[in-house]
Structure 1
């Protein structure tokens, strides 16, 4: 699922490809999409994008013309409109030629060019959504990347809320406090801090202050004597704060994307090599109370859901069972093949033995009676028709004798 860094990279991509491009006409929606129509039609407008956590906002701004009154009368938009997107599981933006439109382009913005191009919102699984004339969702907190001070204050000032009684791995997915953090980011953050995923979130966060101690140090000299901290101590200070890591780790992903972000030519090799914990071989994983897979190393902590088992272990067991079943099937197949191969020979031997037995039986009968088996067979009796004809002849003979007398 796209997380905060991916949505920010998507906004950078839109701003890059739409820079200086004029769009025209109506915003078109695919027939299969159940999201709302975007009631925006304009002769000429521009598109810009901004991101905040797990949301992206496209701003459609009409280009002012000399005859603005005629534009209003003809039903053309004269005011800017914001369209807020949430990417769901597979959403992204794509800028392409009209004849190269992606299959799952569910919302489309057409350029005012001779060879028309299209900015489209592509969503294969259709879990994403958009809201015309939309605003940032009210129940989402400040962005962990670009509103760090507000994000930190929002978390520290609400630590008394019951939500922080839950395991820290589950609280990190709560967008009211950690807007932009998703499944792979929580795994990487907790792994780097060596925090078990299933411990109380409050126990991890209660020692933190509203203002980042590292930010304080930047505004003040290290000490009166002018001594500097050792690199080791400095590194420990920088990587011991959960809220700070929620800010720094997503920015690392953004820097991986750089200016080369293009969903049509996506290369995830750099991202895969960056991962240290999420879906990495040798790591453990469990399902949390919400059914989401949590990757970690070492002890999971005391708040593991009851009956929860390692997903990776299940996969391995299933694979081993499948391998065993495959081996058994191979053995059974080889046995059946060998049986089929041996069957004609065995059948032939059986037929020969039966023939020899019948010949020996016929020979023994001839020796006893002096006749062959065919000769020793009882003669067939006359059938009922022959018997009836003979009887009628005898009766007619008797009747003739009596008449002659």
Structure 2
């Protein structure tokens, strides 16, 4: 699932690709998406992006005409519109030509050029969402990366909240306080500080100050600096920052941003740099169990006193082969259904000879049984199977016809 660094990298991607590009027309939505329509149409507008925690905001700004007397046409937007995106499990932005439009492009912005290019929001699983005229979600706390001072203050001043009664690994996913932290980030942060994931959150955070005492200069605000550390620096970092989990909630996400690329994206070919950066999450030798919410927690050593009872490591998931799971045009639907019908017909044709073979084999078996019976009937007397009477007198020798007649004559004479 995309986390704070991935959302910020997505905003940087939009700003980089759309710089100087003029967009036109209506914003189009795919037929299958259940998200709302975007009521924005303009002859010429620009797109910029910004991120905050696990949200991205696109701003559509109409371009003013050089002719001040020219009026805006009916139905054309004359004021900026903000659209807030939440990526869900698989959302991201893509800027391509119209011919190369991704299959799962659910929201599209068309450029005013030839050939036309399209900025699209792509989401294969459709767990993501967008909100026209949206604002940052009010229940989310300050961004861990770019609102560092507010982020620390928000947590230190609310440690009495019942949310901090839970294990620290579960509290780290609470976006009301840790906006931008997700599953892989919590594993990396706790591992670097050697904190048991199921230790009490209040115990771990108790004693921290709203000001960062380990920082020599002001916290980073909307600026990315190189926070990569060598192996030697990691040991110093472990000693100097022991216990200050809030600082690592700020610096570790920035390390991912500094790598560039798309961050956590295991389905892409350029995922190797991110894998090399990971120290705990899905790393060989580490332990994993499910927390109380069913989320997989990766760690090393003692899980902590608040670990779920009888918790087991989740089974490794086998990656299924990618298939055509969604089609967004009627032509593709018809083609798909036709191909399925042809496949059924072919399967029926291939199975037909098998049935004949089966019938033939049954006929052969029945013929074989008849042949065996005829052999049994025509067999010599000594080769016949004993009957029920024969079984009773199985010890006696067989008696022939002449012998029987002589025995009857003898009995009559005796009488």
| Cα distance in structure 1, aligned partners of 2:20 and 2:266 | 21
- 8 Å Cα contact 1:13-1:262 kept in structure 2: no
Structure number with bigger Rg: 1
Gap change, CA 1:77 and 1:262, over 3 Å in 2? farther
| Cα distance in structure 2, aligned partners of 1:186 and 1:263 | 18
Gap change, CA 1:69 and 1:289, over 3 Å in 2? farther
Determine which structure has the larger helix proportion and give its number. Answer: 1
Once the 2 structures are TM-superposed, how far is the Cα of residue 260 of structure 1 from its aligned partner? 10
Q: How does 1:138-287 map to 2 (within 5 A)?
A: 138-215=138-215, 217-218=216-217, 235-257=238-260, 267-287=270-290
Q: Report what 1:361 is aligned to.
A: 382
Q: Report what 2:294 is aligned to.
A: 291
Q: How does 1:53-202 map to 2 (within 5 A)?
A: 53-67=53-67, 70-202=70-202
Once the 2 structures are TM-superposed, how far is the Cα of residue 191 of structure 1 from its aligned partner? 1.0
Gap change, CA 1:58 and 1:191, over 3 Å in 2? same
Gap change, CA 1:301 and 1:262, over 3 Å in 2? closer
Q: Deviations over 1:106-163 (max 9, x none)?
A: 1000000010010000011111001111111111111111111111111111111111
Gap change, CA 1:65 and 1:266, over 3 Å in 2? farther
Once the 2 structures are TM-superposed, how far is the Cα of residue 360 of structure 1 from its aligned partner? 7.2
Q: Which consecutive residues of structure 1, in runs of 5 or more, have no partner in the other structure?
A: 220-229, 317-343, 372-405
Alignment RMSD (CA, Å): 3.3
Q: Tell me, what secondary structure is at the counterpart of 2:288?
A: strand
- 8 Å Cα contact 2:6-2:264 kept in structure 1: no
Gap change, CA 1:241 and 1:287, over 3 Å in 2? same
- 8 Å Cα contact 1:71-1:77 kept in structure 2: no
Once the 2 structures are TM-superposed, how far is the Cα of residue 285 of structure 1 from its aligned partner? 1.4
Q: Deviations over 1:187-239 (max 9, x none)?
A: 11111111111111000001211111112x458xxxxxxxxxx9766651135
Once the 2 structures are TM-superposed, how far is the Cα of residue 305 of structure 1 from its aligned partner? 2.2
Q: Which consecutive residues of structure 2, in runs of 5 or more, have no partner in the other structure?
A: 219-231, 319-364, 385-396, 404-415
| Cα distance in structure 1, aligned partners of 2:156 and 2:2 | 26
| Cα distance in structure 1, aligned partners of 2:272 and 2:71 | 49
Once the 2 structures are TM-superposed, how far is the Cα of residue 310 of structure 1 from its aligned partner? 2.0
Once the 2 structures are TM-superposed, how far is the Cα of residue 284 of structure 1 from its aligned partner? 1.5
**TM-score after normalising by structure 2:** 0.71
Q: Report what 2:313 is aligned to.
A: 310
Q: Tell me, what secondary structure is at the counterpart of 2:298?
A: strand
